[in-house]
Amino acid sequence: CHTSRMPTPKGKELAQNLPREELTHLILKLLQAWKEPLSHFNQHIEHHQELSDDSLSKAKQISNMVHELKTGVEKVTEKARFSINSLNGMASSEAAGLSISNEANLMSDSDFIHCFRRDSNKVQSYLKILKCKIMPENSC
Amino acid sequence: MMQKFISSVQIILLLSWTTVCLFGQSFPGKPKIVRCRSLEKDTFSCWWKPGSDGRLPTNYTLFYSKDSEEKIYECPDYRTSGPNSCYFDKKHTNHRTTYNITVMATNEFGSNSSDPQYVDVTCIVQPDSPVDLSLETKTSAGVTDLWAKWSPPPSAHNSSSWHVYHYELRFKPEEEEKWETVSVGVQTQYKVVKLNAGLKYGVQVRCMLDCGEWSEWSPERQIQIPNGQSPPEKPTIIKCRSPEKETFTCWWKPGLDGGHPTNYTLLYSKEGEEQIYECPDYRTAGPNSCYFDKKHTSFWTIYNITVKATNEMGSNSSDPHYVDVTYIVQPDPPVNVTLELKKPINRKPYLVLTWFPPPLADVRSGWLTLEYELRLKPEEGEEWEVRKLQIFARLYFFLHTYYVNLRHVSLNNFICFLDYRVKDMIVWIIVGVLSSLICLIMSWTMVLKGYRMIAFILPPVPGPKIKGIDTHLLEAGKSEELLSALGCHGFPPTSDCEELLIEYLEVEDSEDQQLRQSHNNGHPGKNAKMTSKETDSDSGRGSCDSPSLLSEKCRESCTLPSKLPSQDVREIHENNAGKKGWETQCVASSEDKALPFNIAGTKSSTWPAANTHPSTFAYHSTVDAQKITLSTTNVNAAPVLVGNEEKHQSRYSTSETLCEENLEKQREMENMHSKNDQSTIQVNQNKLNEKSSFLNAKIMDYVEVHKVRQDENSAVLLKHKENNGKIEKYTISGNSKEYTKVSTVVDHNILVLMPDPRVQHTPVYQEPAKEMSQTLQQGQVEKNMSYCLPVPSECQREAGGSEYMDPSSFMPSFK
């Protein structure tokens, strides 16, 4: 995975010990790191004839969701008044901590999906922790 | 003899046989039930063998009864199993009963029954084979024994519970043909001994009920007899699970141990790392398991796990098992589940289900999120109904309640899942709705009360209301502005005006003389402008003064201040025929040494003769009056300015402006006594002669206040141009006093004015008989005090106490 080298907490305590700003920054970095690979992937699978239209539309939907999620997290941080450096200008590979920008493109499709699944699970877990830190009253 | 006997016997026999043959019919023979068998499950058939049928068609019927019952049934099916048979299908086959079966043969002669046959159904039904045959080899002391274990066939009916199965086992090596059969007895396990090591054996087992038949042989199981010393077989990893997403456990299944005690070790490595670790804990989770505690658990990394079996002969490793802990989370069930039945009044009863999440799950921090599912089934029902519980994260409390509306609920397992979803756009929807509501309300209000709103926002321009001139304003000495505001700039004169004009001109001429006279006495000043203005003002002097009014002595011309008086024409009307005029002099304190011309705001003179538009006339007249005054002043060079015609005019203009200024400042300076130096007020009094001539025209004359000496508490010196008058000094209390009220008239020339109690600044002054130019010269008015003094020289104070005097009343006095 191209995000393998990103220093992310791999356990509950590690994630909980991170301050909120760092955690949010990490989430945003992860989301940013997938932005370009997702668009590349979408372009790539459009030429696949074996895939159904459903799959293609799903893939596009997923890219949109990632983008929306990133926007949403940024809004949340604004409201919660974190000080976060904007990551908008950062390239995906830069966000992933890579020096080579093409590494994301070298993955095979199955690897890509596997990596994306894992990272989205990561983002989900971090967001849940963040949510309970910010708003502990609901369902925490 | 013998022959005859034998032949008779033969004949008899032949006859009987013939008879028998001819008639042949007799009782049927007794049938015999041959056997009853169960060819299929839950069915059986019985066959019989008919007896002799007596040469007649015979009908066979089978009767049976169950157990010891009295009731007798007939065979349900004679055909399925063939002739002379009876087929009992499933419905008629009861395993628990003993059938008492008899067959009856019937023909014309009679019937004959077979012996009863008791059939126990269970005994005739072939049982199923034994199941779950397992083989195990145990090697000890170099001897390998084969242990075979099995289970009895599943009995669909409980009837066979008191029947005992007998088992038989057979085995043979794989390559051979012949089976070796062993009778096991009633046990369900058996040890096979004396097996050749290294060979592969097959084993089968069958069973039999004590009264029935043997079942079929069970499927063959094979087993390899170990050589006595061989490495263990490969273990297999069964599963790995994490109950709370913080730790996880893996279980494996060992293979054959190869005859020696085998040790199992679990080895793992993490994704991306080379190093191999061993399981940290073999015990916590039981045998053949490995428990990874918190320290050793990492998420989002793939573990490569293998199990190695080792014995003296060697080792064998299982296939690698890849696991990512995030995907193997299986939480424990919820705890403290309680179910309550609530029966509120007037409502349907309902159930309240409460539970707690499993203790290990850390939901507080959000690391693990649980979803719940409910399964319920009515008591009589067969199917479980599964309901997913939509618990939104925001409404999630540690105590969950769920309302169930059912008649009967039987609780069973609960399953925990992960994940939740939160959607929240409600806030924005509410905001949008509220704002649209507000807009609607506002627009509706605007429509209904639009007129009023507009009126509120943009007040309508008030229609012209001319109420007259405010006394206060007039007194304040701002008559100039007022008159200018009145707009008397040359309105077209009416026919009446012509007279006035004429009269006016008359006055002017006489005034001129006086002006010249006073000019000598006056100070040089800048009159050029004034003159020009005078002449200019001449043209504009077409005031519509009524003759009567003009004839009034006490005509006051007042230049009013900027404030348009709201003053009442009425008030003036109220007075005697409303023919009042007054002359007001603006006394402005200015830096000029000359007398300031202060035009106080006073009432506008009304010219009631003009019934039409009296107010306008009033205004106009005042303005004109002002101008007239000014002109007269100019002529006299006195009423405003001290003896300086030039100055008059100039001063008029300047003083006008000054007056205006001063009037404006008057209010500010009203209370400034200290700074008020001697403000000289000059009042010129017109000549009586002039006035008398004026009186014909009823023109009010004006008096110029000469001087006011403050130190003497307001001394107002009135200067009479003819130097006839005295000069009396009165102190003015306070500089800023206005003298608008006439107290008395002294002599015939002196008018005593007094401050109006209403207006504090009414000065009291007397008309001097003499001219006090010198005093005027001396007095320097430094400050900007201005006040208007109504100077009706020949006016007496009215008895009514009004400020303004009716000139007509004075007429006789002068004459």
State whether A121 and B326 contact (CB < 8 Å).
yes
- pLDDT for B452 equals 72
List, for residues B781-803, the tens digit of each pLDDT value: 334 343 434 444 444 444 444 44
In a domain, A2, yes or no: no
Q: What is the ipTM of this complex?
A: 0.89
Question: For residue B617, what is the DSSP state?
Answer: H
Q: A12, B420: Cβ pair inside 8 Å?
A: no
Is A110 near chain B, with CB under 8 Å? Answer: no
- d(CA B493, CA B538) in angstroms, rounded, equals 13
What domain range includes position A94? 12-134
- A63 touches A116 (CB < 8 A): no
Residues B58-74 have a mean pLDDT of 85
A contacts of B423 (beta carbons < 8 Å): none
Total Cβ atoms within 10 A of residue B83: 9
Q: What is the mean pLDDT of residues B629-652?
A: 40
Output the pLDDT for position B276.
Answer: 92
Structure tokens belonging to residue B681: 């007020």
Work out the pLDDT band at B535, boundaries 50, 70, 90.
very low
- Indicate if the pLDDT at residue B592 is higher than 70: no
Q: Does A106 touch chain B (CB under 8 A)?
A: no
CA distances from B349 to B129, B343, B352, B376, B403 (A): 52, 4, 10, 17, 10
Query: CB distance from A17 to chain B under 8 Å?
Result: no
Over 60: is that where the pLDDT of B726 sits? no
pLDDT value for B244:
86
Res A70: pLDDT? 87
Q: Which residue of A has its CA nearest to B392?
A: A139
Average pLDDT of every residue of chain B: 63
B766 and B516 in contact (C-beta within 8 Å)? no
Does A99 contact B at CB distance below 8 Å?
Answer: no
A4 in a structural domain? no
Q: What is the pLDDT of residue A72?
A: 87
> Lowest mean pLDDT: which of B23-27, B390-394, B428-432?
B390-394
Tokens of B584: 């007001």
Distance between A140 CA and the closest CA of chain B, angstroms: 4
A139 in contact with B, Cβ within 8 Å = yes
- Residue of chain A with shortest Cα separation from B293: A11
CB–CB contact A139 B246 (8 Å): no
Q: What's the distance, CA B530 to chain centroid? A: 76
> Residue A76: what are its φ and ψ, rounded to 5°?
-60, -40
The alpha carbon of residue B356 is apart from the nearest alpha carbon of chain A, in Å, by 13
CA distance A118 to chain B (A): 6
Nearest-Cα distance to chain B for A45, in Å, is 26
Contact B294/A11, CB-based, under 8 Å? yes
Residue with tokens 């130097």: B723
Please answer yes or no on whether B365 and A12 come within 8 Å at the CB atom: yes
A2 touches chain B (CB under 8 A): no
* pLDDT score at B63: 87
Per-residue pLDDT for B323 more than 60? yes
- Partner-chain residue, chosen from A11, A118, A132, that has the shortest CB–CB distance to B366: A132
B512 or B329, greater pLDDT: B329
pLDDT at B798: 40
A75 contact B CB<8A: no
Instruction: Identify which of B571, B579, B548 has the alpha carbon closest to the alpha carbon of residue B474.
Output: B571
| Residue A105 forms part of a structural domain | yes
* Higher-pLDDT residue of B110, B527: B110
When CB atoms are compared, the residue of B298, B301, B393 closest to A139 is B393
Q: Which residues of A touch B367 (CB under 8 A)?
A: 12, 15-16, 125, 128-129
Instruction: Tell whether A1 is covered by a domain.
Output: no
Whether A47 contacts chain B with CB within 8 A:
no
Residue A99 included in any domain: yes
A60 interfacial to chain B (CB closer than 8 Å): no
Residues of B in contact with A10 (CB under 8 A): 298-301
| B198: DSSP letter | T
Q: How far is A53 from chain B (nearest CA, A)?
A: 26
Test B366 with A15 for CB contact under 8 angstroms.
no
For residue B103, the model assigns a pLDDT of 87
* Percent of chain A that is helix, strand, coil (3-state, to 5): 65, 0, 35
Residue A92 has pLDDT above 70, yes or no: no
Q: Which residue has the tokens 């709201």?
A: B566
Interface check for A140 against chain B (CB to CB < 8 A): the answer is yes
Chain Cα centroid distance, residue B476: 61
Give the pLDDT band (50/70/90) at residue B442.
Answer: very high
Number of domains in chain A: 1
With CA atoms as reference, the chain B residue closest to A15 would be: B367
Domains observed in chain B: 32-120 (2.60.40.10), 134-225 (2.60.40.10), 236-324 (2.60.40.10), 338-411 (2.60.40.10)
Query: Under an 8 A CB cutoff, do A129 and B324 touch?
Result: no
User: Closest residue of B to A3, CA-based?
Assistant: B300
Kindly state the percentage of chain B with pLDDT values over 90: 5
> What whole-number distance in Å separates Cα of residue B486 and Cα of residue B469?
10
Contact B300 A131 (CB under 8 A): no
* E strands, B312-448, in order: 314-317, 321-324, 335-342, 350-356, 370-376, 385-389, 400-404, 415-418
Q: Is A38 at the interface with chain B, CB within 8 A?
A: no
Structure tokens at B574: 């109220």
**pLDDT tens digit sequence for B193-223:** 877 777 788 889 888 877 777 888 888 888 8
CA distance B395 to chain A (A): 6
Higher-pLDDT residue of B462, B676: B462
Q: Do B297 and A11 touch (CB under 8 A)?
A: yes
| A135: closest chain B residue by CA | B394
Chain B residues with CB under 8 Å of A133 CB are: 366
Amino acid in the structure at residue B703: V
Of B301, B364, B392, the CB nearest to A140: B364
Q: Which of B272, B362, B393 shows the shortest C-beta gap to A138?
A: B393
The torsion angle over the Cα atoms of residues B90, B96, B97 and B98, rounded to 10 degrees, is 110
**Rounded Cα distance, A13 and A7, in Å:** 15
Does residue A140 form part of some domain? no
User: How many Cβ atoms sit within 10 Å of the Cβ of residue B808?
Assistant: 20
Decide: pTM greater than 0.90.
no
Q: Which of B3-17, B399-413, B490-504, B755-769 has the highest mean pLDDT?
A: B3-17
Chain B residues whose CB is inside 8 A of the A130 CB are 366
User: What is the number of CB-based contacts under 8 A between chain A and chain B?
Assistant: 59
In this complex, which of B299, B392, B394 lies closest to A11 when CB atoms are compared? B299
> Would you call A132 and B299 a contact, using CB atoms and an 8 Å cutoff?
no
Between CA B618 and CA B804 the distance in angstroms is 15
Q: Which of B218-227, B313-322, B388-397, B797-806 reaches the highest mean pLDDT?
A: B313-322
The residue of chain B with its CA nearest to that of A125 is B367
Residue B650 has pLDDT above 90, yes or no: no
- Site from B360, B367, B370 to mutate, A interface, most A CB atoms within 10 angstroms: B367
- Are B643 and B773 within 8 A, CB to CB? yes
The predicted structure's pLDDT at residue B291: 93
Lowest-pLDDT range of B19-23, B385-389, B465-469: B19-23
Closest by CA to B701, choosing from B813, B600, B551, B497, is B551
Question: Is position A66 within any domain?
Answer: yes
Residue A39 placed within a domain: yes
